Amino acid sequence: MPARPALALLVLGAVLLTGCAAGSDDPVAPDTPASTPSAGAPSTAPTAPAPSSAPVPAVPEVRVITASYVGGEVVTDGVRVESELGEEVVLRISSDVAEEIHVHGYDVYADIPAGGSVDIPLTLTLPGSYEVELHGAGRPLFQLRTS
């Protein structure tokens, strides 16, 4: 008689193992919340961006205005640099001596190390004529005229 309880346990174990193995081909059963989004839940699947027919705005060009101070002499793009109101510019100033640049009207100051240069980005929002100078030496580099 002791074989029957052992046989019953063996059959019960086989049934339990077979029940757990059913559907083991699917990593997630289809009725689990992980694979079935609830109503109104956002999708987590990646989506490609919709093509746009709107034109891409043009990036305004930035004009670079250069000046240098070498051996006590000023070399520039011109004594008077004409520009337009709203124009984007970069003042690229170099010097063989340590100096400070001052852009009058905009009250912008920038230090230049000896033998170095500095870029000063500006949006020209002030109409008129403004001197750009070596502040320490009091030497004008050029006049920025905006209209």
Provide CB contacts within 8 A for 80, sequence distance 6+: 129, 142, 143, 145
* 3-class DSSP state of 139: strand
pLDDT at 29: 47
- The reported pLDDT for the residue numbered 45 is 57
DSSP E strands in the chain: the ranges are: 63-70, 73-76, 80-83, 88-95, 99-103, 108-112, 116-123, 128-134, 139-146
The low-confidence residues of the chain, meaning pLDDT below 70, are: 1-52, 54, 56-60
Q: Where are the domains of the chain?
A: 63-146
In the chain, what's the furthest Cα-to-Cα distance? 117
Dist. CA 91–CA 113, nearest whole Å? 16
Whether pTM > 0.75 for this model: the answer is no
CB 135 within 8 Å of CB 103? no
What pLDDT digit, counting tens, does each position of 128-141 carry?
999 999 999 899 99
Q: Which CATH number fits domain 63-146: 2.60.40.420, 1.10.1840.10, 2.40.50.140, 3.40.47.10?
A: 2.60.40.420
| Per-residue pLDDT, 61 | 85
Give the pLDDT score at 146: 96
Backbone angles phi, psi at 115, to 5 degrees: 75, 10
pLDDT at site 26: 47
